[in-house]
Amino acid sequence: MTRLSTRISIRWGDEPASEPTTTLVMGVGGYFMDLRVTKSDNSVDWAFAGRKETVSVSPLHCRWHHIIDSRNVFEPDEGSFAALPNGDSLETGSMPCLERGGAVTPYEEVWRTLSEGKEAGWILRRDDEAAKTITFLGRVGSEYFAMVQPEGGGPLTVQRDALETQDGKQAWVTKYRHGEASLPSLAAAGLLAFPGETAWTMGSAVDIQGAQYTVCAVEEAASA
């Protein structure tokens, strides 16, 4: 199943809830990509990608394994979820809080699903042995993420493209970019989709602009 979600608020300990970021998370199967941009200065608050593990279903408890991480923190984090009356989800747990010097602090996050299962999606991974970098690319419907980071940590480059309709024509538009590394971009390439995208299968090797990637997760859109 594919999913796009956004965070509505975060609360640390007994502090009031707030939302200092614009956060968008895409999930495809057991993989995810997460981009959080600080509203005040448009910097990267947090960008990471990796594998999602469902620890339990009732109650829902998940663990996220960070394979790349802009904060260079690679220990898994986890949280429990409960449904709210308005349809949002409340995530609770404990994790390091930057504003408290990295002290592990209880938190509450409210999440809102933007789409679930209605759109096709995929997440790809490339381990470049020569450059010693790890790259993740992901798409769910009209959202596209690309992230690359040196193996073991270091500066992370991230880009977000969105598919928009202008003058009756669809085109990808770059909505956010941070970092210096080169990344495949649907917007820059002037493509609506990568060649062969609809035929990709789990675990297969695919060519993206001359580089080989592995399909970590791929899902078709749910039928109406």
* Per-residue pLDDT at 145: 98
To which residue do tokens 């970092």 refer? 179
* Per-residue pLDDT at 102: 87
Compute φ and ψ for 188, nearest 5 degrees. -65, -35
Structure tokens at 179: 């970092």
* Per-residue pLDDT at 45: 97
Structure tokens at 32: 């995810």
Is residue 88 helix, strand or coil?
coil
To which residue do tokens 């956060």 refer? 23
* Per-residue pLDDT at 222: 80
DSSP state of 117: S
* Per-residue pLDDT at 224: 58
H/E segment holding residue 175: strand 169-178
Range(s) within the chain of domains with CATH label 2.40.128.310: 121-219
Q: Looking at the whole model, is its pTM more than 0.75?
A: yes
Range(s) within the chain of domains with CATH label 2.40.128.320: 2-116
Q: Which fold has domain 121-219?
A: Lipocalin (2.40.128)
pLDDT in single tens digits along all 224 residues of the chain: 999 999 999 999 999 999 999 999 999 999 999 999 999 999 999 999 999 999 999 999 999 999 999 999 999 999 999 999 999 999 999 998 988 888 999 999 999 999 999 999 999 999 999 999 999 999 999 999 999 999 999 999 999 999 999 899 999 999 999 999 999 999 999 999 999 999 999 999 999 999 999 999 999 988 65
d(CA 179, CA 186): 17
- For the chain, first and last CA: distance in Å? 14
Region of 129 on the Ramachandran plot (φ > 0 left; ψ -120 to 50 alpha; else beta): alpha
* Per-residue pLDDT at 99: 85
Q: Which fold has domain 2-116?
A: Lipocalin (2.40.128)
Q: In 3D, which of 172, 103, 170, 119 has the Cα closest to residue 144?
A: 172
Is residue 199 helix, strand or coil?
helix
H/E segment holding residue 188: helix 186-189
